Amino acid sequence: MTESILNVTDAAADKIRSAKTSEARSRDVFHVIQGCALESGRTLAVQIEIDAVEMDDAVVRVLLEDVLKRRYVWAGFAAFLCLVSLAVTSTRAMIRRLGRRWVSLHRLVYLAATLAVVHFLWLVKSDLREPLLYAAVLTLLLGLRLWFRLVRSRTRKPTPNGAESQLSRV
């Protein structure tokens, strides 16, 4: 009798732990979405102010030219979209749903990091030391990642039928 109670208690404890873990992940995704909403809210406030001004063709043309001149906006927004896609697909359910494609999708982190550095480089006008420091750190980290991957591929023993383990693709 006590063994069955202990088993039920252990099962309940596992369910509670699992629920807490999924709740924490949901909370993390919620925080990312909340941050996105706050940033979008700032953008929306600017758009509302722009909409308050009568929008004729000349105003729209000037706004588009202004945005096209500021290429750092495009680089930053592209990095932001990459990071949002990574945040949304980081839950267990999405990992299961995407399967092997999840790893390929999460390689967007390299693109996002590069775009963020480019965004920072293009944004800064006078003192380029800080963005160049970030660029150097990113280059060093990506270079080390590539070097370790090459070393690991040379020292790895061949597997039967040329199959690779899923972990080696990460």
Q: How far does the chain reach from its first CA to its final CA, in angstroms?
A: 47
* CB neighbour list of residue 80: distance below 8 Å, 6 or more residues apart: 36, 39
- pLDDT for position 32: 60
| Measured distance CA(120)–CA(124) in Å, rounded | 6
User: Could you tell me the residue ranges of all domains in the chain?
Assistant: 2-127
Sign of the alpha-carbon torsion through 33, 38, 42, 44: positive
Unique residue bearing structure tokens 């944004």: 123
pTM over 0.85: no
pLDDT per residue as tens digits for the range 3-18 = 444 444 555 555 555 5
What distance in Å separates the CA atoms of residue 15 and residue 21, rounded to the nearest whole number?
Answer: 10
Provide the pLDDT for residue 125: 84
Q: What does the pLDDT read at residue 136?
A: 96
Which residues are CB-contacts of 25 (< 8 A; sequence separation ≥ 6)?
90, 91, 92
What distances in angstroms separate CA 31 from CA 26, 35, 41, one per listed residue? 9, 6, 15
Give residue 1's pLDDT: 46
**Residue 32 · residue 87 · CB < 8 Å:** yes
What pLDDT, in 10s, does the model give residues 80-92? 889 999 999 999 9
What average pLDDT does the structure give for the chain?
74
The pair of structure tokens assigned to 81 is: 């979209």
CA distance 109 to 115: 10
pLDDT in tens, 24-72: 555 565 556 556 555 555 554 445 455 545 556 777 777 677 667 788 8
Cα–Cα nearest to 125, from 70, 65, 50: 70
pLDDT at 122 (0 to 100): 92
